[in-house]
């Protein structure tokens, strides 16, 4: 089927079902074209909480669609491909966290939203890469803190805020691929370019960067900085949004072809099938949802 025809069918089904399509920046470009909103985790969580649509087709990995369901239980939340999960989110099991909490009852758990609903339900508060510093800075100073599951965002936040905390040793396989060698090579090729990286990158890569921020913050920086050239250390999908928001500026990926394979499972055909068949519906146990919502609401209230 031609993309134009697919787009038309998606639009018709969306209107019939009062559905909205939310897509993360890392999904395939054609999928982003079908979406009503394209954003990062925080932006999409806020949109999911506010939308008056009956159905949300969430083009992102599983924890994002789960967050939409947690915030909007009365809505039908569909994922176009249930296999799209996040390896980082799977690096911490709820049982492990429960055990940790039992052994450290005083500890406040901060959960990066890249985790399952069950982990969120065990956390005091959630954060995204856009607001991790603000979240950690808001915690009482006299309590120990555990940050889960991303070691790099946790360490970056710890240093930025100047707050001692324990950090779970999870990581994003896509961002972990960025190395200091790649930084040196790209800097040598483009000496005038600013290096902008995501805080999920290894520490030495973040330390070498001119700017470290969430996907949205990187896009904003490209649009607002007087620089004309940028090297981008995050999933390659973000380059589309940068080129749209900062036309005329030169952007180079820090590592060519570095993509999140899970996000790329969200193809346009699967979006159409999701709407046609009302599949695959995201379910979260009510008890888990209520507890996870408290942690998400604490973050959204900041
Ligand atoms: S880019 Fe990394 S953190 Fe984000 S969904 Fe993919 S694997 Fe998970």
- State the distance from the centre of ligand 1 to the C-alpha of 8, rounded, in angstroms: 30
CATH architecture of the domain covering 174-253: 3-Layer(aba) Sandwich (3.40)
- In this prediction, residue 42 carries a pLDDT of 76
User: Looking at ligand 1, which atom is closest to the CA of residue 61?
Assistant: 5
The closest-lying atom of ligand 1 relative to the alpha carbon of residue 88 is 8
The CATH architecture that domain 3-85+263-284 belongs to is 3-Layer(aba) Sandwich (3.40)
**In terms of DSSP bridges, do strands 76-78 and 55-59 run parallel, antiparallel, or are they unpaired?**
parallel
Give nearest CA residue, ligand 1 atom 8.
Answer: 86
Record the pTM: 0.94
Pairing of strands 19-24, 125-127: unpaired
Nearest CA to ligand 1 atom 2: 172
The pLDDT, as a whole number, for residue 194 is: 98
Q: Are 165 and 158 in contact (CB under 8 A)?
A: yes
Q: How far apart are CA 22 and CA 20, in angstroms?
A: 7
Q: Per residue of the chain (302 residues), what is the pLDDT tens digit? A: 899 999 999 999 999 999 999 999 999 999 999 999 999 887 887 898 899 999 999 999 999 999 999 999 999 999 999 999 999 999 999 999 999 999 999 999 999 999 999 999 999 999 999 999 999 999 999 999 999 999 999 999 999 999 999 999 999 999 999 999 999 999 999 999 999 999 999 999 999 999 999 999 999 999 999 999 999 999 999 999 999 999 999 999 999 999 999 999 999 999 999 999 999 999 999 999 999 999 999 998 99
CATH T-level topology, domain 89-172: Rossmann fold (3.40.50)
CA–CA separation, 264 and 107 (whole Å): 37
User: How far does the centroid of ligand 1 lie from the alpha carbon of residue 146, in Å?
Assistant: 21
Position in ligand 1 atom list of the atom nearest CA 261: 6
Instruction: Look at residue 167 in the predicted model and tell me its pLDDT.
Output: 98
Instruction: Quote the pLDDT of residue 209.
Output: 98
Q: Compute the distance from residue 89 Cα to the ligand 1 centre, in Å.
A: 8
Phi/psi class of residue 213: alpha, beta or left (left: φ > 0; alpha: ψ in -120 to 50)? beta
Quick one: which of 137, 149, 144, 53 has its CA closest to 96?
Answer: 149
What is the best residue among 172, 199, 201, 218 to mutate for testing ligand 1's pocket, by most ligand atoms within 8 Å of CB? Answer: 172
Domain boundaries, the chain: 3-85+263-284, 89-172, 174-253
| Binding pocket residue ranges, ligand 1, CB within 6 Å | 26, 61, 86-88, 114, 172-175, 235, 260, 262-263
Please give, one letter per residue, the 3-state secondary structure of 91-149. HCCHHHHHHHHHHCCCCEEEEECCCCHHHHHHCCEEECCCCHHHHHHCCCCCCCEEEEC
Closest Cα to atom 3, ligand 1: which residue? 172
pLDDT for the residue numbered 43: 86
């Amino acid at each position: 089927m031609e993309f134009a025809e697919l787009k038309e069918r998606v639009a018709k089904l969306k209107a019939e079902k009062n559905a909205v399509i939310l897509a993360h920046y890392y999904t395939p470009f054609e999928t982003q074209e079908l979406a009503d909103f394209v954003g990062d985790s925080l932006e999409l969580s806020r949109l999911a909480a506010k939308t008056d649509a009956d159905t949300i087709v969430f083009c992102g990995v599983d924890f994002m669609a789960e967050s939409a369901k947690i915030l909007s239980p009365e809505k039908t939340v569909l994922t176009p491909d249930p296999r799209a999960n996040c390896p980082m989110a799977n690096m911490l099991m709820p049982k492990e966290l429960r055990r940790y909490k039992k052994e450290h009852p005083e500890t406040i758990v901060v959960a990066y939203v890249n985790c399952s609903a069950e982990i969120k339900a065990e956390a005091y508060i959630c954060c995204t890469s856009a607001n991790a510093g603000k979240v950690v800075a808001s915690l009482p100073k006299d309590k120990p803190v555990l940050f889960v599951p991303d070691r790099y965002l946790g360490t970056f936040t710890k240093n930025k805020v100047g707050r001692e905390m324990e950090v779970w040793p999870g990581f994003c396989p896509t961002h972990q691929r960025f190395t200091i060698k790649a930084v040196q090579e790209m800097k040598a090729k483009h000496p005038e370019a600013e290096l902008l990286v995501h805080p999920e990158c290894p520490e030495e890569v973040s330390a070498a960067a001119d700017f470290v921020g969430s996907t949205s913050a990187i896009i904003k920086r490209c649009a607002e900085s007087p620089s004309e050239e940028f090297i981008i250390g995050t999933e390659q999908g973000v380059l589309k949004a940068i080129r749209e928001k900062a036309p005329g500026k030169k952007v180079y990926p820090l590592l060519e072809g570095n993509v999140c394979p899970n996000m790329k499972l969200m193809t346009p055909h699967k979006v159409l099938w999701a709407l046609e068949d009302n599949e695959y519906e995201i379910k979260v146990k009510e008890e888990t949802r209520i507890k996870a919502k408290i942690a998400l609401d604490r973050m959204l209230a900041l």
